Structures are given as C-alpha cells and as structure tokens.
Chain A
Amino acid sequence: MRNLFNIVSAIAVSLIALAAESHAAAPNAVSTLEKLRAYGKITLCADRDLLPHSSSKMDPPGFDVEVAQEVAKRLELGIDYKWVAAFKGYRAIRNLYSNDCDIFMGLPNDEEFLEEARRLDVTDAYYTGGFAVLLSKDAPSFDLEDYKTKGVAVDIMTVPDFRLHERGFERKLYYGVEKVIEAMKAGEVQAGLVPALEAGWAAHTKTDLGLRVLDRTEKQYIYPMGFGLRKSEQDLKAAINDVLRNLEESGRLSELRRKYGVVELLPEDGTPPKVANQPVETKVAEAKPDTDSEKTALEADFPSDAKSLDEGRKLYKQACYKCHGPKGVSGGTRPDVRKFKGDHYDMFAVVQAGRLDYGMPAFAEYLTEDEIKQIVVYIKQLPPPEDDYKKH
C-alpha cells in the first residue's frame, strides 16, 4: 500500500474545482542554489524503509536516493536525509511546503498533479513510471483483456482500480504490490496492473517467483517521474534538469535503472508520453465526496477495527507507556502523545525513526510496520487531555 502512486489516485478522486489562478513565482533575491551551497547540503525527504525507492539502511540506498546522491554530487552539495512515512503521496506536498526538505523524489510531471499541488513543481523525468502489467509465472497471456473476467489484481485506490472498474474488468483489490505478489504466489491471481517501479523491483529481486513485468502499458498509465520541489525555486529546478541531462547522456541513469530493475514503460500505441499535458479523466471523483475517500484511504492504511485497537493498546504498554504514561496521560516531563501535532502518517514516521536527539528511540528494529500502525491507531483514539481530571 505504500507507494507514491497513490498521489495520482488521490488527485483522481479529489478533483475539487479550484479556480485556476496562475501565480508567478516571486523572484528570489538570493538564488536557492546559493543558499544551499552556503549551507553545504541539500535535504531529501524520503521514506525510511521503502525499497526500491529509499532505505535509511543504505544497503542498498534505493533508486531515488542514489539518483539524488548523483545529482547532489554534481551540484557540489552534500546531502541530508529527512526520513518520513512516504506511503501517501500527499505527504510530499506537505513536507516541501513546510520546508522539511528541498526535494522529494518520484513525483509525476503531470499537469493534473501540478494543478493540485500549486506551490510545487516537478523537474524533468529521471525515469518513466506508472502502472505496469505484472504477470505470475504461469500466466498464459500477455494481453490484459484475457484476464477481464478472471480478475486483475490492483493496488486499492489507485488509478487502475478505478479505470479497470470503468472498463468492466473484474478487479481483485490488494493493499500494496507485496500483497499482490503473495496472492500470485498462492495462485489467487495471475495478472495485475500495479505500480511499475515496485513491480520491476519484485521481478528483479524475487527471481525464484518467475514474475514478469511488461514494458508496454496503456498511455494513460504512464507518468514521467521527476524531483518534486518548491515552485518558487526555479533556479534549482533548472540546475537539476541540467544535471539529469548529463546523467542520462553519460549512461549513469540507465546504470542505476538497471540496478533497481526499473521498467521503462512505453505506451501501447507507440507514441511517447506527453509531458504535463495529459489530464487524467475521471468520473469516479464526482461519484465520491472527497472526505469519504480520504477516510477510506486512512482506514486502509491504519485499520481501526477492534482487534487492531486491542493489539495497539497492548503494544503501547510494551513500547510507549514507560515514557508517555498510561493511556497517553503524560505526567509533564515527556510529550503528551495526545497533543501530537500531525496525522497518522507523521506519527508512524516518528515511532519508526524516533527522535534520537530528544531521547525518543527508533522502533523500526523492534516493531513491524503493522505493529506501529496499531499503536498509532490506539493513540489517535485516546480521550483528549481535557478529560483527565474529570470525575469518574
């Protein structure tokens, strides 16, 4: 479920008719690049543990991270990492808006997206991403149409989920590519239409499964993927574009793409994808109010059923209670978790990566992602501090 392509779906389902205003970027007195050079480093927001995109363990660092490292090097900058829970694309917008970092990789250079994220811009592509056809070892056909009635696996709430529905396909819904692959292993499904980068990585690393990823897909499923940055920092965008051109010419980018099994998607009709001019049509958006879909998406990532809550309560006691108090009631020396300023995803990232400077440990090594989610769900439903001393 953790993939940046959800951003595309998030936009697809949340087409709010905002009056289109064009904002001219304010001219900067000091260029962004100069500022970064004075500081010496560029900061990348990336997920702590989301291969093939990124991994804080640096073994391997991930495709996004390695491309960013190459770019930073050529810009004569060091690189800092801000580890975030990136499994929802809209976080990119927030992290960049709030100056947590300077770049956020893997955003679609797509008009629809840029209209939504008004203060963001996206560089030229460092790979062509989108949704690819993934086939199990025993899948009999390369044509998706042949699976129309048998069922095609999709990542829930992504573009293919809606699109295949419109096209009258039988869909099988999964939370994330990994779950799709498990289903293929179990023989539940033979074909999927899933994020291409993850699909390529799986085929590349899980060679024993004999997975196949097709490099042809419908034009509408293809997105040129670039570096997300703040729209006001056009000089940085231009500089990165220059570097990307060099990296492409020198063959370094293809080298990295090969290392991570990146599938270069090509449209089925043979014409190259158009940049920033292919509005994603959708009727789904009108059918579903925005808040509902947000809720559904949150529930998908952070299930709040009774069992998850109970697990979360138990895990809270094992991992959190000793500092943050019973039922999240702080005694005043450590932060009250109920006053946490941020959403489920922000809290997830903090529990996973810790705030080591403040004595908050990183739990990535001791708790699974599902366990951390259960803790977050438990904390988020605790009664507010105002009720602490009410008579029982």
Chain B
Amino acid sequence: MKSRWALLASAGTAALAAGFAGQVLAADWTPVTDERLLSAEKNADDWLIYGRSYSALRHSPLDQINKSNVKNLKVKFQQALGTIEGQEVTPVVNNGIMIVAVSHERIDAIDVTTGKRLWRHDIKIPNDATQFTCCGKVTRGASLYGDKVYFATLDSRLLAIDAKDGKLAWEKTLADYKAGYTLTMAPTIVKGKVMVGFSGGEFGIVGQILALDSETGNEVWKHRTIPQPGEPGYDTWGKDSAKYGGGAAWLTASYDPETNLTFWGTGNPAPWNSDMRPGDNLYSNSIIALDADTGKQKWYFQHVPNDAWDWDSMNEALLINAKIGGKDTKAVIQAHKNGFLYTFDRASGKCLQTVAFAPYDWGNLDENCNMVVKPDKRPGVGKKAYFCPSYFGGKGWAHMAYNPDNSTVFIPMTDMCVTLHHEETTYKKGTMYLGAGGEIKEPGKGGVTAVDVSANKVKWTWKHNSPLQSSSAVSTAGGLVFIGTFEGEMLALDQDTGEKLWSHMNPSGINAGTISFSAGGKQHIAVVSGYGGAFPLWAGTGVPPHIKDNVNPGATLTVYALD
C-alpha cells in the first residue's frame, strides 16, 4: 500500500501547485526497481510490465469494479492522441503516471487522475521505415526500468528516455531496418537487461533476440532463432534457406525468476512457400526458453515444422501455477494460431496437454502434441488449400488473460478461414518475401473463449460477428474480463458465464491492450482505441463490411472508473 499513499500525497501537492502540477508529479517518479518488477503480480495498483507481471497473466487483483456494479462504470476522461495510425499499445502505469506509446510518433506521460499530460517525447523515424514492415507504424508499447522509459523503434533503435521529463537519455541503433529488421514489441527488462526481438518474418530476416545493458545499450548477448552454417539445426533448412529464414520472435517475452528463463515465441519461417525450405526449419514456429543471463536456449518445442500456413508460434507464454492432470504444476501455457492451447512443463518444456479453443479443420494433434495434417489442408505450389484457422490464427497476437483463482484463461479468438497457395518467389530487399497468395472469402468472426486449464476444457465462448484478432484481454478479481472489439466496443464479460454485463462504444476500433490499475483509491480500466494494424491491411474481404463501412481510424485514450 506504500505506493498508494505516495500517490495521494503527490496528487494533493499537484492540486495545490496548480499550473506546476504536471512537473511536480513527473518529478515524483517512483523508480521501477527489480524488487517492484518481481512482485508486480501482487501489486494491484500499478501496471508496471507489458503483461502486468513477468508471468504475463494480465490479471488484476483489483475487485472494486465487480459483476454487480460494473453497469455503473463511466468514462472518467478521454484524450485524443492525434494520429490515425493503428494503436496496438498496452500502456503501463507507475504510481499514477501512465506511459503511452502512440504508434511510432510520440510517447506521452499522463497523470491518470486528471488526464493531464506531464511530458511528451516526440519520436522521429525515417519516412521510409514503413516500407520494411508488414503492418504500419504499430508498436505494442514502452517498458519501464529504474528512472527510464525504454522504447524500441520501427527503424530498430532502442531509446532510453528520462521518465521524469521525457528527454532522451541515449539511443542505440541495433540493426539495419532497410533489411527488414524492425521493432514493434515492448522490451522485456530483467535485472538490468533490456531484451528485444526483431520483427520482419515477411521480409526474410533471420530472427534475433538481443539483450542490452539498460545503462549503456551495449549488447550483453544475442540469440539467433535460426541456426546458421555449422550450428545445430542448420540441416533442417534445405536449399540454403536459413539465410533469409525468418523465425522472428516479435512479441514481449515472459520471465520466470525461479528458473531464470525467458520464454519467447518464434514466428513463421520465410518465405511462406514451404517447398523453398525443405526440412523442419528449426527453430521457427517454436516456443523457446532462453537463460536470462546468457541467452542460451534451454529447451524448445516446435508446434509447426515446415510451416505452410503462416502459423507463427509468436504468441505470449503465460507462466502459471496450477493443477495439471491433478498435480500441482509450474506450467507454461500458450495459445497457438492453429487453434490449440498448449500446456508445457516450465522447467523441461515437456508438452503436458492441449485443447482446441477455436474452430479448426486441418486435422488434429497426436498424443505428443504434434500436428497431424490432412493432406488436402496443406497448400503448395499450384495447390490451393482451404483451411481454418486462417493465417491470422485462431488466436492472433492479441494477448489472453489468466485468472489464478479459477485457473481459467480468457482467449481473444478469431474464426476465419482462407484459401492459400504457394508460388515461387525471390528475395528482393525492401519488398516482402512471401511466395504465397490467398483469399479470405467469408468475413471473419470471433469471440472470447474461456478455458479451464486445470480441467483442460472450454468453459464458454462469447461469440461475436468480427474477429478479436488484436485486442488483448484483462482479467480482474472482480470476476470480469475486459476486452475491446474492432467495432470499438469496450466490453465487460462475466468470467463464469461469458455473459456481456456492460459495454461502451469508443470513437474507433480497439486493437490494443486493456489495462486495470488503481489511483486515488479507485480502480480504473483504460484502453487506447484506434483501428489499424495487420487485420485491415491483410484480411481483404475477411474484414466484415459493417466494420469497413462504419469504423474510422483515429487514436483516443479512454479511462473508466466508477462514479
């Protein structure tokens, strides 16, 4: 509770100091120490880490807003963020100060009690940066450590910004963005190491994860997700395909202090045309566990060998302690694009169980969790295949939330199919390296699927007439799941039944992360709306017409609280 008192004190000072309120609060920045990060799961007031805690549960222990009073939830303030780029951010909140990264245009520090902006950091990226990325100027957010805000730019720089005034402390160029190495994730920061993984699986990069010193930006270790000549696994890449092999680990990792492991999901191998890379293509489409100090790979599990569908395994790994098969287990759960939720043993990587959470038609998983695909569901050169889920996945990159109290995970779900074929292509710098063509003929649908992980069973599905492809959920101790839709509707669902208990329409579509935190003694819910990202760019006729006709881009921060 220490932090709450600190906040109340500073809020009081702010009110008295009138015009200087902003500076007073910003200067009162509470350092984000290792201790605070490690105990983030129990700290109900803040949202310090991208996934709220190192275990990435996106579960808030706050229960002030609950099933009985959620109908009274009101907008406390809204703020236009001044861009029409798609917003995929999960804001972070430290002791009443929210840090919001607005596309790759600016970072704002906002007083969550008043909506007042404390500082703004303008980000400058080169005009041509969007050429080398798949999905516009999207970012998933900034991360906090000590007195700094860390931000990874589309043109592959790491910025260290002073959290007290928004001024740039230093920056470091990490890679050549013109070769497709871009950054869209919020960094994972553990014990003074800022870790980032490059995006660019559609541009023929070689997946890389870097750990950088939080003081200097100097490289501590580098891990390549695709083996190069002489390294184990290189023989799983026929036709010299590892050179532009993809395997981008493009989402924020989770971290387990006990094993000192970080957990990353790797993306699709490049190009999409699987004939051009005979073999399993390790370690694309895998979950990998890396030692936080050295970057050494401790275990991996490849969900999709020789991927032909663009079924990345990039999705976040949630670290849970639950009864699995009746036994108390330290587990990792990951929902995959192929429509299945996997449970692994955290230390060994052994696959313990799987369950389908989204409609699928491609075949099934065997008892070792390996895919057994029906022959007509595998596309090839000159061979069209219709399959579900589409390359957007049964779960897209949008994050799920897990409530330890009922061992239930709430998965944003997409129900969409595609017809895909492969074709020859050549690597061409500055353009995409796909070698595939597809068509989504029916507009996508979606929903939220609740899975009881201990029972390994679907509890309920809340169905919706558009995909929940890039909107992340938050679970609260109030028995609610909050999540937004492409239409712009912010929803509260009942964790037990999936019933919609409350909703509010935002100015634009929601494809970002909803958060919950406490300030001034009140629980808040916050989200940034702003339609965009991959879905409207790549889905074509998969975009439901009611969204195409009605939803306008434009970013807005909305903060809710009870009266």
A residues in contact (CB < 8 Å) with B: 313-315, 317-319, 321-327, 329-334, 354, 356, 359, 361-362, 365-367, 388-389, 392
Contacts and interface: CB of A to CB of B under 8 A. Distances in A.
A75 to B, nearest CB: 31
A62 B86 CA distance: 41
B128 A323 contact: no
B252 to A, nearest CB: 23
The main secondary structure of chain B at its interface with chain A is loop
B536 A331 contact: yes
B127 interface: yes
Given A329-B541, A361-B128, A322 B547 contact: no
Contacts of B429: 366
A325 B537 contact: yes
Nearest to A387: B541
18 contacts: A314-B423, A315-B431, A318-B434, A321-B538, A325-B537, A325-B539, A325-B540, A326-B538, A327-B540, A331-B535, A333-B537, A334-B536, A354-B128, A359-B137, A361-B131, A366-B430, A367-B431, A388-B545
B536 A333 contact: yes
Contacts of A318: 425, 428, 431-434
Interface in B129-172: 130-131, 133-137
B553 interface: yes
A318 B429 CA distance: 10
B202 A322 contact: yes
A323 to B, nearest CB: 6
A255 to B, nearest CB: 36
A331 B431 CA distance: 21
B137 A322 contact: no
Contacts of A325: 536-540
Interface of B: 84, 86, 127-128, 130-131, 133-137, 202, 423, 425, 428-434, 436-441, 443, 531-532, 535-541, 543, 545, 547-548, 551, 553
Given A356-B128, A361-B128, 11 more contacts: A317-B434, A319-B432, A322-B134, A323-B537, A326-B439, A329-B541, A331-B539, A332-B531, A332-B547, A356-B127, A389-B545
Given A314-B425, A318-B432, A362-B128, A332 B541 contact: no
B537 A334 contact: yes
Contacts of A324: 537
A331 B548 contact: yes
A359 B432 contact: no
- Identify the interface centre among B86, B137, B536, B551: most chain A CB within 10 Å of its CB: B536
Contacts of A326: 437-440, 538-541
A333 B553 contact: yes
Nearest to A356: B127
A361 B133 CA distance: 11
A73 B333 CA distance: 69
A366 B428 contact: yes
A388 B84 CA distance: 25
Contacts of B440: 326
A327 B539 CA distance: 10
B382 to A, nearest CB: 13
A359 B130 contact: yes
B86 to A, nearest CB: 6
A188 B321 CA distance: 79
A366 B132 CA distance: 12
A324 to B, nearest CB: 8
